[in-house]
């Protein structure tokens, strides 16, 4: 007799991981992602930047995360950028809300977060140069 185990997807997935990011244009960027998502991400702002005081800028974004197995997460996001410190680095915090999921993420939803830093060029030609950075993901998404 063959013992067959039915494997059911877990109730939640820890979204821990990291991404190295690079802006492509003023309105888009890509990242190499490792962790719960092992692949790449594409992101772009979906609103104008809003200065909210204390050196903070808030805006909305969208991201598409692609795992090497073909699984995908599409998110709608809220981002906060803290203006550069004395070393020229800015802190970036993003809250990602899943709006579409395929492959191993099918049936999962919720919100996860990232926090990290970006190095933003200064001066008149800043947008002609690439912003680079690294972020760390945390949180979990849940079934149902």
pLDDT tens-digit readout, 87-122: 778 899 999 999 999 999 999 999 999 999 998 766
Instruction: Extract the runs of DSSP E, i.e. beta strands, from the chain.
Output: 12-14, 17-25, 28-35, 39-45, 50-53, 56-67, 72-82, 89-101, 108-109, 111-119, 132-143
- The pair of structure tokens assigned to 80 is 């906060």
Q: Would you call 44 exposed, middle or buried from its count of C-beta atoms within 10 A (0-12, 13-18, 19+)?
A: middle
Q: What is the pLDDT of residues 57-71, one digit of tens each?
A: 999 999 999 999 999
Output 70 or 123, whichever has higher pLDDT.
70
Tell me how far the alpha carbon of residue 132 is from its chain's centroid: 14
**Position 29 confidence tier, pLDDT thresholds 50, 70, 90:** very high
Closest by CA to 62, choosing from 70, 53, 73, 54, is: 73
DSSP state of 8: P
What pTM was computed for the model?
0.87
pLDDT at 135 over 70: yes
Range list of H helices, the chain: none
Architecture of domain 15-139: Beta Barrel (2.40)
């Amino acid at each position: 007799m063959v013992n067959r185990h039915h494997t059911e997807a877990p109730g939640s997935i820890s979204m821990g991981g990291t991404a190295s990011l690079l802006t492509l244009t003023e309105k888009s960027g890509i990242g190499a992602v490792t962790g719960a998502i092992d692949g790449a991400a594409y992101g772009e702002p979906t609103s104008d930047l809003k200065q909210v005081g204390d050196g903070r800028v808030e805006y909305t974004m969208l991201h598409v995360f692609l795992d090497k197995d073909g699984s995908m997460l599409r998110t709608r996001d809220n981002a906060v950028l803290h203006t550069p410190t004395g070393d020229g680095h800015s802190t970036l915090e993003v809250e990602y809300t899943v709006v579409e999921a395929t492959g191993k993420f099918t049936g999962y939803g919720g919100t996860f977060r990232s926090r990290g830093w970006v190095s933003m060029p200064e001066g008149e030609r800043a947008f002609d140069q690439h912003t680079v950075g690294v972020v760390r993901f945390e949180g979990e998404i849940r079934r149902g």
